Amino acid sequence: MLALLLVVLAVVLVVFAYLYWVGDFELFTRTGSGPQKKHAILLVGLAVVSLIGANFARRRTI
């Protein structure tokens, strides 16, 4: 169950990363500052960590 949740979280993070990259989403940024590539890259990094966490949860060894 935890593994599945972490995979879903990773997908959500990637979607938000795309929205930040194209500039459609500005939460936690200066309003009107355009595409937030830094935020997008950070979210992709967090998505990768979520997938690693899912891999750990799947094996139940952490």
Instruction: Build a one-symbol-per-residue string for 8-47: x at contacts with another protein by CB under 8 A, - elsewhere.
Output: --------------------xxx------xxx-xxx-xx-
Which single residue is written with the structure tokens 């997938």? 51
Tell me if 49 contacts another protein by CB under 8 A.
Answer: yes
Yes or no: say if 56 and 62 are a contact pair by the CB < 8 Å rule.
Answer: yes
In the complex, the smallest distance separating the C-beta of residue 50 from another protein, rounded to whole angstroms, is 9
The set of residues, in sequence order, having a beta carbon less than 8 Å from that of 15 and lying 6+ positions away, is none
Rounded CA-CA distance 28/39 in Å is 9
Residues that bind another protein (CB under 8 A): 28-30, 37-39, 41-43, 45-46, 49, 52, 55-56, 58-59, 61-62
